[in-house]
Amino acid sequence: MTDAKLLLEPGQVIRPIIDHEQVKLLAERLYGISVLDLTELNGYDDKNYKLTEDPNMKNPLITNHSPYGYVLKIMNSIDSQNVGVVEAQNEIMNFLATRSVTCPKPVRNIFGHLHSIEDLGGKKHAVRLLEYVPGELLKNCPLSEALLYQLGEFVANLDNKLQNFNHSGLVSRQHMWMLSMVPELEKFKYVIKDSEKLDLAEEVIEEFKYAVVPRLDELEKGVIHGDINEMNVLVLPKDAGASDYRISGVIDFGDIQYSYYVFELAITMTYMMLMSGDPRVGGLVLAGYTVTRRLPDEEYRLLKTLISARLVQSLILGAYTLEQDPKNTYVTSTEKANGWELLRKIRKTKPTENGDPTDWKAIANEFLTRS
């Protein structure tokens, strides 16, 4: 099946349709786990469930029982058609775990496989089980300068390690959340009803087409995580009882792709600015990143367009998904976090005596000099 057919089209329902009782039966049938406790976790197009197993009913096939429980992941019907991507997600977690990156670990089912394809509500979905990784989500922590710097460092380190990871399943992968797919947003922009917002979105999509697309061949390529945000980064207190945190791990490899390293940086910066509402914090992420990994000037110059494009992508696809599935409030997190307001700040703010809030290189240098 060609990847062109695997792109989301307006009107398509791809999220798994399943209730809690069926999830428990799946866990028992595929993994021999008797579920004691079940919580649904956030998910965009996929469904994710935190499971705690009944300690009196343990599956002898799981040799190391995860003390923190498991996450059962049911993938959307588009990605489930691409078995290579499912295998790549499992392999990348094992690859990083052996290189001292804390991330979930895939668990084999009773047939000895790391995933299976199940028929749910008339559609085929890939089902996997991962060990649950303890830690607090970054979104629940105060964003200190040190933590933002450390996140930049963490992401650069992650990408340095991923330079040695390749998988045939990712070579031709395309999905709507890849930054390179921003021109495809033309099909979905009808969901933005406010004319001023639509003008802003169209301006960014056009800028991406003429400023980024012709230069893609010049950018450094490799496998990236593709969705470093406050819901996918784990933190732990620095010391017992401490109020400051350190980055401890990364979760959710659903958007891994063979893409461009500068996209990884832009995506990380975007979500940290969204979380804080302040464009300046991008400079702190940049500081940590560039101390660990070189960023060529021509790639730095694309950051403003890339960050704007990620915001527009998140705002348009969030509004579209909400229109399709009004119960899925997770998808509007960018809008709730004042994504349009941030986009205006990045695009329209004029430099003042306090400097330019999007001169991230100057902000990074100032921070590094100070610390």
* Three-state SS sequence of the chain: CCHHHHCCCCCCCCCCCCCHHHHHHHHHHHHCCCEEEEEEECCCCCEEEEEEECCCCCCCCCCCCCCCCEEEEECCCCHHHCHHHHHHHHHHHHHHHCCCCCCCCEECCCCCCCCEEEEECCEEEEEEEEECCCCEEHHHCCCCHHHHHHHHHHHHHHHHHHCCCCCHHHHCCCCCCCHHHHHHHHHCHHHCCCHHHHHHHHHHHHHHHHHHHHHHHHCCEEEECCCCCCCCEEEEECCCCCCCEEEEEECCCCCCEEEEHHHHHHHHHHHHHHHHCCCCHHHHHHHHHHHHCCCCHHHHCCHHHHHHHHHHHHHHHHHHHHHHCCCCHHHHHHHHCCHHHHHHHHHHCCCECCECCCCHHHHHHHHHHHC
Q: Which of 46, 227, 252, 255 is catalytic?
A: 227
Q: Is 227 designated active site?
A: yes
Cite the active site residues: 227
